Structure 1
Amino acid sequence: MAENYSALVVDDEGHLRSMLRALLKRMGITNLYEASNGTEACEVYKQKSPTLVLMDVNMPGMNGIETLQELRRTDPNATVVMMTSMTSRKMVEASIDSGAAHFIRKDTPMKEIESILRDILASCEGTSS
């Protein structure tokens, strides 16, 4: 059940965090956390250990790939979905190589993002926080 999961939304743009938070709430996830940059994301992750992290690739300071690598050092089982509006093969490969569970373009229709996230959460069964 989605209500047993928690999620951390990491994006430097507040309106995108709000949009993703609304989607996650609609999915039944009630334990939601936010961070506006990579450093903050690492701190929140260490304190809350969310089931799922949705993270922007392009952020000032510590970018999404660097943050993903730090989260995976903290927790090798961290489930992180990378999101971006600008996709390159190199960026996708770097994300997957660094341990991302999935890579989603921000212009993907919300129903499709929801379906992807539900599949990822289903694969987390038994490991939720």
Structure 2
Amino acid sequence: MARILVTDDAAFMRMQLKNIFTTLGHEVVGEAENGQVSAQLYKELKPDLVSMDITMPEMNGVEAVKEIKSFDPNATIVMCSAMGQQQMVVEAIKAGAKDFIVKPFTEERVKEALAKVL
């Protein structure tokens, strides 16, 4: 069972992911609505995994990945992107994200990504 920090600026997306993670037997230990909050919570909660949206106010997902990786080089981060954000996904992977899931999420795809990175 992994302890997961869910990051997305849309509350319904966080809820959707939370439900999928919980159904798959993991524990959601925190939720963040932007990259800045996510980086702060990461330091406090030290989760096993962060799901990270790409497009967010204040601090986007790519910047947040860099921030979290500078604090913990071993952080496991999975990007969540909408279609058409390939360029930012590539940047996030270069910055240290381990995988990505494209919205809308399916339980199957989330399960695959978790199996790959955990």
Q: Does the pair score TM above 0.5?
A: yes
2:35–2:61 Cα contact (<8 Å) kept: yes
Structure 1 equivalent of residue 26 of structure 2: 29
Counterpart check, 1:69 vs 2:66: yes
Q: Percent identity over the alignment?
A: 36
Which stretch of structure 1 is more off in the superposition, 66-75 or 102-111? 102-111
**CA shift in 2, pair 1:116/1:48, >3 Å:** same
Give the TM-score of the pair, scaled to structure 2. 0.92
Partner of 2:91: 94
Number of residue pairs the alignment of both structures matches: 118
Q: How far off is 1:31 after superposition?
A: 4.4
Q: Pairwise CA RMSD of aligned residues?
A: 1.3
Deviation at 1:108, TM superposition (A): 4.5
Partner of 1:50: 47
| Aligned partner (choices 66, 78, 81) of residue 78 of structure 2 | 81
Does residue 115 (structure 1) correspond to residue 112 (structure 2)? The answer is: yes
- Which of 4, 15, 23 aligns to 1:18? It is 15
Question: Which letter does structure 1 place at the counterpart of 2:63?
Answer: E
Once the two structures are superposed, residues 48-84 of structure 1 have per-residue CA deviations (whole angstroms, 9 ceiling, x without a partner) of 1000000100001110000010000010000000111
> 8 Å contact 1:95–1:103 — kept in the other structure?
no
Partner of 1:76, secondary structure, is: coil
Kindly provide the CA deviation profile for residues 26-67 of structure 1, in whole angstroms up to 9, marking residues without a partner as x.
Answer: 111124210011111111100010000001000011100000
Equivalent position SS for 2:97: coil
The CA distance in 2 between the partners of 1:24 and 1:98, in whole Å, is 24
CA distance in 1, matches of 2:94, 2:68: 14
Please report the TM-score for the alignment, with normalisation by the length of structure 1. Answer: 0.85
Show the counterpart of 1:6: 3
